[in-house]
Structure 1
Amino acid sequence: MKLGIIASAEASRFQEAKSKGLEFLEFCINIGSDVDAFAASVPALKEASEQTGVKVASVGRWGSERITKAGVVEEELLISYRLIDAAAELGCPNFVCGVNYVPELSYYENATLAIAYFSKLIDYASAKGVAVSAYNCSWNNFVDNEMAWTVIHGHLPQLGIKYDPSHSRYAGRDYLKEARDWGQRFRHVHIKGSVIIDGQRFDDPPAGLDQTDWGTFMAILYGKGYDAGLSIEPHSDVWHGELGGKGVQFTMDYIRKMMF
């Protein structure tokens, strides 16, 4: 496995990652991001990656609406294609996205449209050497649980899963069971702590200072033959600035003890 971190799409981030001994960066070009600016920055990002030896392991897009009751949203599809182009140029093996749920449609109709959307992405990305995965976050996405995976991933054997235990925990699901049953489809994993008190999310502290059973989770990943990225996601409401830097260092030290 390889350890990296989610970062802003800036060339300087590669040197920062190298100084920490990290092997890759992940870029999230979410709804509201300037896609044109990101696309324009790709040559500089590629140069920084080549100079430092720090790779790009994932390019993703969270939060956007990809389907409506009228069908696939063409504008969003084209944005996904542009981001896949960027991933291919950067030598990045993964593109990550989700698909929103349309309340006016049945679950079957939503699943059918999600399959159509992912199928278009897979066809486009596979020709460029990029794999497509659905994220297990619920942000404008219903393809985040075993029922959706059974239907959609069951129909699309090439579709992977970007997995984050915290999302499963906050949704009241069993992340260890999901990893056991679906770990063979994991293409990218987020490392983010989670704390639940009285049934409610409290904070996302550094991994290792939370309630996730990281040792068992890592054991399941090894058991499923997972050998891809572990991407640190600083996502706390508390751990910022100097404290945030110390938290990232703690997570790096903690997770590295379980990497062989």
Structure 2
Amino acid sequence: MKLGIIADPKAESFDYAAGLGLEFVEFCINVGVPAEEFAVKVPELKAASARAGVAVGSIGRWGADRIAKDGSIVEEELQASYTLIDACQELGCPVFVCGANYVEELSYYENVRAAIAYFEKLLDYGRERGVRIATYNCHWNSFIVDETAWKLIHGHLPELGIKYDPSHARYAGQDYLKEMADWGHRFLHVHVKGSVIVNGKRFDDPPAGLDQTDWGTFMAILYGVGYQGGLSIEPHSRTWTGELGDKGVKFTVDYVNRLLLRG
């Protein structure tokens, strides 16, 4: 397994990751940001990656409407996905991550069919470029977040992977350890983000290792299912920012490295 961090899509991010002793950075080009704006930065990012010796481990796009009200594919977002898959190829990034929105006007069955049609296109496009496709288990405008959806969509598409983050399962009241044991063989990328629940409600997303997630068992399951992908630290707290946030990231780097048996 490799350890990295989500960072801004700029050259300095590679130096930041290298300074922490990390192996990769992850870029999230989310809804509202034109994919073409990222694409023009690719040559600069590629040069910075080579200079710093830090790879790009994942590129993803969260929050977008990919399925229209009638169940058809939103062409603009399909092209954005293609653009980002092209960027993955150029940067040597192995995984592109996205989701599929749920259309209330359609049945669950129709939503599943629409999502499958979308991912079939991405899988075909990615396969030709050496890039794998994964769905995220974040609930941000995507319904592919649990075993029900995975059985239908990933069950039908054996090449489709999963980007997993235990915090999303915890906040939704799902059993993240069971999900990992059952579906870890399909994981292509993993987010490392702390989560704290107090009185049944989300309290904060502190640094991993300072939260309620059973990271020891989490890692034991990843080892058990033979996971070999990236572990991407996701600073996501409104409390742990600035100097405190920097200390939290360094804590998590040290903590996860121990779980990776790196001394």
TM-score in terms of structure 2 length: 0.98
Q: State the percentage of identical aligned residues.
A: 66
Within a 5 Å distance, the mapping from 1:82-93 to structure 2 comes to 82-93=83-94
Counterpart AA for 1:45:
L
- The aligned residue for residue 193 of structure 1 is 194
- Which SS does the other structure have where 2:259 is aligned? coil
The 2-side partners of 1:41 and 1:21 are apart by: 24
Report whether the alignment pairs 1:35 with 2:39.
Answer: no
Counterpart AA for 1:203:
D
Q: Retained in 1: the 8 A contact 2:34–2:80?
A: no
Offset from partner CA, 1:28-78 (integer Å, 9 cap, x none):
000012422211100000001111110000000000000023211111000
Task: Output the aligned Cα RMSD.
Answer: 0.6
Runs of 4+ in 1 over 6 A off after TM superposition: none
Identify unmatched segments of 5+ residues in structure 1.
Answer: none
Offset from partner CA, 1:207-243 (integer Å, 9 cap, x none):
0100000000000000000011000000001000000
Within a 5 Å distance, the mapping from 1:51-130 to structure 2 comes to 51-70=51-70, 71-130=72-131
Within a 5 Å distance, the mapping from 1:177-256 to structure 2 comes to 177-256=178-257
Q: Retained in 1: the 8 A contact 2:65–2:101?
A: yes
The 2-side partners of 1:34 and 1:159 are apart by: 24
Offset from partner CA, 1:98-128 (integer Å, 9 cap, x none):
0000001000000000000000000001100
Counterpart AA for 1:253:
D
- The aligned residue for residue 131 of structure 1 is 132
Identify unmatched segments of 5+ residues in structure 2.
Answer: none
* Superposition deviation, residue 89 in structure 1: 0.3
The 1-side partners of 2:69 and 2:159 are apart by: 25
The 2-side partners of 1:235 and 1:66 are apart by: 25
Within a 5 Å distance, the mapping from 1:2-41 to structure 2 comes to 2-41=2-41
- Which SS does the other structure have where 2:119 is aligned? helix
- Which SS does the other structure have where 1:68 is aligned? coil
